[in-house]
Structure formats: structure tokens, C-alpha cells
Structure 1
Amino acid sequence: MADKNSSKNNFIMQAGILAAAGIISRIIGLLYRGPLQSVIGNLGLGYYQSAYNYYTIILLISSYSIPSAISKAIAQKLGEKEYRNAHRLFHGAMIYVLVVGGIASLFLFFGAGLFVSGAAVTVLRTFAPTIFVYGILGVLRGYFQAHKSMAQTSVSQILEQIANAVVSVGAAYLLIQMFMGTMEVPADQAGQVMRATYGAVGSALGTGVGVLVALLFMAGVYALNRGMILRRVQRDRHEHVDSYGQIFKTITLVVTPFILSTAVYNLSSTVNNSIYTKWYPSLRNLDTVSIYEKYGIFSGQSLTMSNIPIAFASAMASAMIPSVAQLMAARDVKGAREKIGLAVKTTMVISIPCAVGLFVLAKPVISLLFTNKTAEELNLAAALLMTLSLSVIFYALSTLNSSILQGLGKVNTPIINAGISLVVQTVAAVLLLMFTSLDLYSIAIANTLYSGMMCVLNQWAVRRAVGYRQEIVKTFVIPAFASAFMGAAAWAIYEGLYMVTKSMRISVIPAIVIAAVVYFVMLILMRGITEQELRSFPKGYLLVKVAKKCRLLR
């Protein structure tokens, strides 16, 4: 029993390490978004995000799914102690990404005009080399994740984001200063477009440099461990050695469903971008520059904020794939059910209060991190974030369940579910834009609808796949009640401080800190989390120590 509990704790700990790194990376990403927005403006953000959406799709098809797919394939070999075949899979995956990543990079560079037009073409071409570099990085990350070691990936993510932040802002500033001669925004529209383009190109360069820095770190870690890895391979006494033909077949069979699932799953933002920036202006005869500015507010501010809590679910998902794959390979269905239930509960304990917090404190949080020229821009960004807040819970659960299904071998199910959800979202967005005056809110509503559909379909599919029933009260009800108390406390504290300070930025930070404490206390008092589960979190022993000193735990 002790071993079982230790396994559970290690699983959550590894996911927690990756989640902490993901959240730190997202926070770094947020902190630099404010200065970046000040440099390139909402128009520059609009061009950057439009190009980034298409870059993401090509990346998803070629390289992005590699860590998850490779970790699953290698984890299965490790579970059977086939260390030689696991290492040959690693080599085969490296060859795969060099070929596929190279082709995808060239296609994106020379075919950028097929996806975007005008200023965004140059920005999209700047992203092209990053795809090739990311594929190599993805294989190295997947190799260590297969060994249930998330620390390497975690550190590389943080280094990637730091380099991205520094170079994005610095390169954007230097390019604008170099080619425009001044940081002042031109009065004419042509000058504004040119300035925004240079700024967006600088930000795209930052993305590439960040991935390169992460690759250098991961390559260094692999070099340090290479001797130990090769010694283990030499001690492998399995007679059967997979041929590279078998390996490439395995990689193709494993990677392709991951690619399709991830691509369709993430196609939502690209479709929304195309509908709003291309189809909608022609429908209403609107100025495309103003459309890109508003889309920059939505994607660069509101959507970016709503994506932060989902980092935990993404980390949990990365930890789930090799764990569930090994359990299913060992035919331990009961163990897989327990791990799934624990992962869902942990994700909801984090995601539900985050969604409530973003809804209650949307305006001051946006004000804290971004500089909007007018109160109208601030109000728009805050209202859009409130509209998106529910999607935090839906995306967290659907992201986790997609990876669970992949780990269970149900690789086609997330693709089908994502396709159904995408159709529903697209129809909803088009109808709302055609027959209502909701404008950009139509995209936010469609986004939430998409995540909700995915959440329901994936949860139902997991339930059918392994016959498990998720515990309801401690997973959903208690976190929801505790979050309601937290939200009320956050709102009251913020409003009280704002009456005194008249500053949203000064008032929101104490409100967030106290709200987190209130949620922690309420969750324990309502018995929503056990001491054992609390200890499994990173630095959980400190949380337990504090809880016991405050007599919240006995």
C-alpha cells in the first residue's frame, strides 16, 4: 500500500513540477506582454497573433505533438524493460523530426502567403525556422518525460520563456527604432502598419530564440546523461531488436493520431481568427486595421490571461500519457482508473478557483498586466476575459481527458470529438456575427462553447473506455463552494482597497493573495482535500505544516 501511495504522490509531484514550470512560464509570458504591447501596440499584437495562429497549426502538424507521442511510445518500451528498443525509438524520432520539421519550415516560409496577407506574411515567415528547431527539442523533452522525469522539461520551458521575453521586446524595439527612426506612432495608417509589422517581426524572432535556448539546455542535459543511458542499453538482454523500419512504422502510427488530435483541437483559434479578421470585415464592410486592433486585444490580452490556469492541466496531461500507457500495457485497469480520478480531481481543485478569480477580478488583472490607451480598450479586454472565464474549467478538463484517451490507446476519439466541437463552434460564431451586434464577444462565446463541447464529449469517452465514475462532491462541488467564498472575499477586499487607494494595480495584488488563502482554508475545512493529497503537491509538506499550525488539519 505504501508503494501504491508513493506512486500516486510521485505522479502528482511530477505533474506539479511541470505545472509549476508551465505557470511560471505563463507568468513570464504575461509580464513581458505588457511592455511588448507598449512597444508594438494592439495593431502589432493583432498581426503577431494572426501569424502565430497559422504558425501553430503547421507546428502542430509537424512537431508539437512529438513530446507526448514519443513519451508514450518510449514509456511502453521502458515498461517492458526494452531499453535498447526505447533508445532506438529515440534515434528514429530524431530522424523523423529532422525530415518532417525541415519540410514544414520550408513550406511555411515559401507558402506564408497562402495563409495570411499583407503585413502578416513577413511575420509568418519569421516563424518558419522555429518549427525545425522545435522538433528536435520536442524529441528530447519526450524522451525524459517517458522516464517520468519532468524537471528537465520544466527548466527548459522557463529558460525558453525568459529568452523569448527578453528578445521579443528588445528585438521589436530595435527593429522599430532602426527602420522607423523613432518610437513615435505615425499619424498616417500606412506608417502605423509598417511600425506594427516591424514590431511583430521582432516578437516572432523572440519565439525562435526562446526555442533555441531551450534546445541547447536539453541537449546539454542529454549529453550529461548519455553515458548512463548507453550503459543501461548495453545491459539489456532482450533478444528482439526492432528494425528501423518497425520503428518508423511505430512512430508514424503513434504520432499521426496525436498530430490530428492536437491539430484539430487547436484549430479553434485559427478558425476564429479567420472568421473575424477575414470574413467579418467583408460582411460588414469594416476597416481591417481596426479589426486587427480589436483582435489584438482579444487574443493578446483576454485569451492570453485565460490560458494561464490551463498550464496545470497541460502539465498533468503530459504526466498522464506515459503513466496510463504503462498501466494499460500491464493490464492494470484499476490502477489506471485511480490515476485518472486523482488527476481530474487535482486539475479541478486548481482550475475552478482560477476561473472564478478571473471572472471577479477581470478588470484589475488586465490593468495590472497591460497598458491600454483608453478606458474603452480596458473595459473591452476585461469583459472578454469574463466571457472566457468559464472556458478555463472546460479547457482544463478536456485537455486532460484528451491525453488520458491517448494514453488508453483511444487515439481517434479526441479527433472526432474535436471535429464535432469545431463544427458547432464555427456555426455559432458565424450566426452570432451575422445576426447579432455582439461583434468580438461572438468569438469569445464560440470559444467557450467549443471548450464545453470538448469537455463533455471527452469526459464521456473516458468513462466508457475504462468504466470509471468520477467522484463528484470533492472533485467539483466542494471546490466550487470554496471558490464562491473566495470570489466574494476577493471582490470585497479589492473594492474596499480601491475606495482607499483609487488604484486598481495596488488593490488587486492583496485581493489575489488573500483570496488564495481563503480558498485554501475553505477547501480544507470542507474536507475537499486530504493531508496525503496535499503532501503530493510541490512543497506540499510546507502546506501541511501551515495547515496544522493553524489547526486546519489534525
Structure 2
Amino acid sequence: MTKQINKNSGFLLQGAILAAAAVIAKIIGAAYKIPLTNILGDEGMGFYGYAFEVYAIALILSSFSLPLAVSKLVSARVAKKEYKNAMAIFKGSILFAIGVGLLAALVVFFGADFFADKVMASAPSAYALRVLAPGLFIVAVMGVVRGYFQGLGSMIPTAISQVIEQIVNAIVSILGASYLLKVGAEAAKSKNSPLLEPAYGAAGGTLGAVAGAFVSLLFVLFVLYAYKGVMKRQLKRDHGTSVESYGNIYKVLLFTIAPVIISTSVYNINQILDQVMFSKIMAAQGHAVKDYMALLGIYTGKYNTLINVPLAMASALGVSAIPSLAGAIAVGDRKQIYGKIHHSIRFTMLIAIPSFVGFLMLSSPLMNLLYGDQRKTPAAMLSLGSITVVLYCLSTVQNSILQGLDKMTVPIRNALISLGIHLVAVFVMLVMLKWNIYSIVVGNIVFSLCMCILNAHSIQTAVGYHQEVKRTFLLPTMAAFLMGVVSYLVFKLFDVLIGGRVFPILFALVAAVGVYAVALILIGGLTEEELYAMPKGDMLVKIFRKLHLMKG
């Protein structure tokens, strides 16, 4: 067991670095959404969320899959010491990204009114969508550079650039929203159109995404320039006679990204379909635009923001798993393949399960702490949808594993089946059960559960792999529910003793981290060898030994 973990420690370390950076970036994103939500209000966040949904689909169709594809192709060639071909793929991918990114940016910019009004049934979102359009070009180029470094086995440039991107995003978003909200207020008065104020504010809020992406692009380009000496030495060591042509590279690139684009589109388009269906059905049922846009604002600005923090970790581990699996497949090492699948899923669950329990037990205090929102609806949405943290984290990593195993079309099939079941379920809940915004929350549970079941079966069929259950799922769940009970009791105790919206929940969260870690180790859910595979693992082992939780 120790030997196997050591063979995967480099992969786990790189994945942990990227996961940590992704979680930090998401925490920053969640943090700045608090003042942004207070500035824009639920209506403004509704327009903001609609614009980002269209932007996200455009990003998926144009360049979202480029880092994954480039990392996979580069890794496979680096594993065989074909550095010239790895460089050829990088150069070809850059040219591809420039063309596709520019086209996507122009389509979204000039088609903003159509997408906002005709597709999303939210015409004021067009202002924010136009602001976001240049980001499609920037992200496309940046994605190729990130993917190149990931293919070389280094997640650090991606990790640092993600944090930089979110810091700039947070600052510019808040400043932009504040300024344009004032401009929008004047425009609303002069044109007698009240919705212009939140629409302008939403456009200001999206400025940060473009500014953050631009600064992040400058950073990865600087790293690439600093790395040119290493690249030259690698090319000199490659004495291969043939270099892949750009024609062949584009063919391979398209065959790699097309299934990823389709599967990711299906995987994410359910958000847009949910919101379009929700808006049209709510309007048909006689609800005012202001009312259902406010509900969507809570869903996108508060619920989704919190749920997405642990999901970032799963996406990061998936990103690190793909080039690692591609390299293992290239050299035919089945033992490494099994090890990487096992540890990707297991380490994801070690974070996802306690996150689910934390959201379930402390939903109302969290909403009050972060947004000053004591209403029942936001807390009920977070409690009800908390299980999606586990399901989406698991299905996201499974998707990446299948892509790393060269089963590129399998996630498409699984996502299409899940999407069909999901849409029927949401329609029934909206029309027949009239569950309002909760229909979308429950619909996400249905979709992600279907994906988990189908993906698990597909991985088993592809490589004969069975995920171990006890230490991956059962022991973390036991430790997490003990954590949940203790943290809830700590919150109630300090709520009675000192009150307020800050200190009771902070004490509860500190208790939660401590109880989960101790419980997990005591019941055998985390071993010393696995801790060593984590960043600062040696320090953690020393701490647990001093606490007599581990033997020396």
C-alpha cells in the first residue's frame, strides 16, 4: 500500500496544489459575491447570473476544453520523450485558440441582444453579456498555456494564475458594480425604465471577470517566457526524426476536444435550460418578473456560490488526473491507472462529504454570516441541495477519469441520459408540484445522481475498476456526521452565550475541522502514508503524533 501511494504522490501533490488554489479562488469568489450581492440586490444578481450562464456556454463551446485537451496530448508525448511534438501541439493549439476565441467573442458581443432576449428571456442581461464577450478570446489563449504546463506535470502556473485572476476579479467587480449602478440609476430615471439600474450594475460586476482573465494571461505568458530555457534544452534532447504536422495536430486536437465540448456542454447546459424553463413557467403561472428574478438571484448569487466552492476542488483533481492517466496509458501501466483513479475519487470524497454535512447542518448560520440573510428560502435551498456537493464532485472526477482513459464519448452518452431524466423531473416539479425554485435544486440532485451511477458503470466496463467503498465513502461519512452534530451543538451553545452573526458560526466551523480530522484518523479513514502524499503532510503527521492520534 505504501509503495503504491508513493508512486502516486507526485500526481496527488500536483492535484492537491491545484485543488488548494481552486478552493482559494472559489473562496475569494464567494467572499466578493457578498458585497456584490449587497450592491446589486437579488434582481441585479439575477441579470448577472443569466449573463454568466450564456458566457459559460460560449466558453464551453469555444475554449473551455482546450486546457484539458492540450494537457492530455502534451502529457502523452512527454511520457515518450517526444518534446518536439509536444511543442508543435502547443504552437498549433495557440493558433487554434486565437481563431476560435476571437470568433466566439465577436458572436457573443454582436449577438448579446438576441441571446439575452430570445434565448434567456431576460433582455436587460445583454449589457453584462457584451462586457463579458472579450473574455472569451482572453481565456482561450490563457487556457492553452495552462494546459501546456499541466501536460508537463506542473500545476503551479495554473494554480497561481487562478488565485491572481480571482483577486483582480473581486476588486474590479465590486468597483465596477458600484460605479455602473449609479450610472444605471440615472439612466433608469431619464428613460423611465427601473430595470436599467440593476442591469447596468450587473454589467459593472462582470468587468472583473474580463480584467482578472487578462491579468492572469499576462502572468502565465511571463512564466512561459521564463521557462523558455528549459524548453530549449528539452528540444535538444529530442532526437526524433519526425515532427507532427499542423494538419495532423488540428485533427487530433479536434477529435480530442469535440467529445469534451459536447459532454461538458450537456453537463452544464442544464443550468440554462433550468433557468429558461423556470422563467417561462413562472411567467405563465402569473408571477411577476421581479419576483422570479429575485429567486434566481438567490439561486445563482448565494446558493450556487457556496456549492461551487468544494466543487472547484473536484474539478482541480480531475484536471490533474487527465494528463497523469494519459501518461500511464501511454506506457501501459495498469497498476498506476488503478492507483490514480482510486486516489482521485478518494481524496475528492474526503473534502466533499464533510462539505455536504456542513451545508446541511449550518445552512442558516452560513447564509446569515455571509449575506446577512435570515430568510428561510436561501437556507432551505442550501440544506436541500447540499447533497449535490458529493454527487457533483464525484461525477466531475469520474468524467475526467473517463476522458483520461480515452473514453471521450462515454461522458456524452451518460450526460444526455441524465439530462433527459433531469428535464422531465424539473418540469414535473415546476408544473405539477409547483415547487418553485426548489424544483431546480432537486433537479440538480437528480442529474448528478444519474451521472454518478452511469459513470461508475462506465469506468468499471472500461478498465475493470471497482471503487473501494468503506474508506472512500463510509468512514468519511461517519466522521462527517459526528462533525456535523458537534458543530451544530457548538453553534447553539455560543449563540446562547454570546449571540451575534459572526462568532457562534466561526467557533462552530473551527470545531468542525478539528472533530472531522480527529474522527477520521481514529476510525482509520486516513492513514499516515496518505497524509505524506499531501502538501505539508510531514508537518500534519508530526502534529497528529504529538496529539497521540498516530504512532511514532
TM over 0.5, yes or no?
Answer: yes
Structure 1 partner of 2:284: 283
Q: How far apart are residue 299 of structure 1 and its match?
A: 1.2
The equivalent residue for 1:176 is 181
| Aligned 8 A contact 2:7 2:336 in 1 | no
Cα separation, 1, equivalents of 2:101 and 2:184: 32
Residue of structure 1 in register with 2:213 after alignment = 211
Q: Which residue number in structure 1 is paired with residue 222 of structure 2?
A: 220
What is the aligned partner in structure 2 of residue 352 from structure 1?
353
Cα distance between partner residues in 1 of 2:446 and 2:168:
35
Match of 1:238 among 237, 240, 262: 240
Does residue 421 (structure 1) correspond to residue 418 (structure 2)? The answer is yes
Q: What is residue 151 of structure 1 aligned with on the other side?
A: 156
Q: For 1:307-348, what per-residue CA distance to the aligned partner results, in whole angstroms no more than 9, with x for missing partners?
A: 111111111101100011111111112220121111111111
- Whether the 8 Å contact between 2:357 and 2:484 is mirrored in structure 1 is yes
Structure 1 residues 273 and 106 mapped into 2: Cα distance closer, same or farther (>3 Å)? same
Q: Tell me the CA shift for residue 289 of structure 1.
A: 1.7
Q: Deviations over 1:23-50 (max 9, x none)?
A: 1101101111111011111111000001
**What SS does the aligned partner of 1:213 have?**
helix
Q: CA deviation at 1:3?
A: 7.3
Matched residue, 2:120: none
Aligned residue for 1:18, secondary structure, equals helix
The answer to whether the aligner puts 1:50 opposite 2:50 as a matched pair is yes
* Structure 1 residue identity aligned to 2:167: I
SS in 1 for 2:350: helix
8 Å CA contact retained: 1:33, 1:369? no
Distance 1:189 1:342, change over 3 A: farther
User: 2:184·2:201 contact (CA, 8 Å) conserved in 1?
Assistant: no
What TM-score do the two structures reach when normalised by structure 1? 0.96
Counterpart CA distance in 2 for 1:281 and 1:438 is: 11
Q: Percent identity?
A: 37
From the superposition, tell whether residues 190 and 541 of structure 1 become closer, same or farther in structure 2 (CA, over 3 Å): farther
Of 443, 457, 462, 1:460 maps to: 457
Matched, 1:508 2:481: no
Q: Give the whole-Å Cα distance in 2 for the aligned partners of 1:53 and 1:249.
A: 29
State the distance in 1 between where 2:150 and 2:52 align.
26
Deviations 1:497-520 (A, max 9, x none): 111222232210110111110010
- CA shift, 1:179, in A, is 4.6
Shift, 1:228, TM fit: 1.6
Check if 1:263 corresponds to 2:265. yes
1:98 equivalenced with 2:98 (yes/no): yes
> Partner of 2:408 in structure 1?
411
Match of 2:516 in 1: 519
Structure 1 unaligned residues grouped into runs of 5+: none
Name the CA distance, whole Å, in 2 between partners of 1:59 and 1:514: 40
Offset, 1:5: 4.1
Whole-Å separation in 2 of the counterparts to 1:187 and 1:534: 60
Distance 1:531 1:14, change over 3 A: same
- The one-character-per-residue Cα deviations of 1:53-97 (angstroms, maximum 9, x if unpaired) are 011001001011111111001111111110001000000000111
Aligned pairs for 1:30-179 within 5 A: 30-117=30-117, 118-179=123-184
TM-score relative to the length of structure 2: 0.96
Q: State the 1:293 CA deviation.
A: 0.9
Between 416-425 and 191-200, report the one with greater CA deviation. Answer: 191-200
Q: Distance in 2 between matches of 1:458 and 1:241?
A: 36
Q: Is the 8 A contact 1:398 1:458 kept in 2?
A: yes
- Does residue 320 (structure 1) correspond to residue 317 (structure 2)? The answer is no
CA RMSD of aligned residues (A): 1.7
8 A contact 1:37–1:371 mirrored in 2: no
Distance in 2 of aligned mates of 1:195 and 1:131? 26
CA distance in 2, matches of 1:350, 1:188: 51
Are the aligned partners of 2:18 and 2:159 in contact in 1 as well (CA < 8 Å)? yes
Q: 1:235 to 1:92 in 2, by over 3 A?
A: same
d(CA) in 1 for partners of 2:317, 2:212: 23
Q: Deviations over 1:465-510 (max 9, x none)?
A: 1101111111111001111100100110011111122223221011
Q: Is the 8 A contact 1:159 1:214 kept in 2?
A: yes
Cα separation, 1, equivalents of 2:495 and 2:205? 34
- The aligned amino acid for 1:314 is S
Question: Hey, what does 1:341 align to over in structure 2?
Answer: 342
How far is the alpha carbon of 1:101 from its aligned partner?
A: 0.8
Aligned equivalents of 2:113, 2:419: Cα separation in 1: 24
Alignment match, 1:447: 444
What's the offset of the Cα at 1:122? 1.6
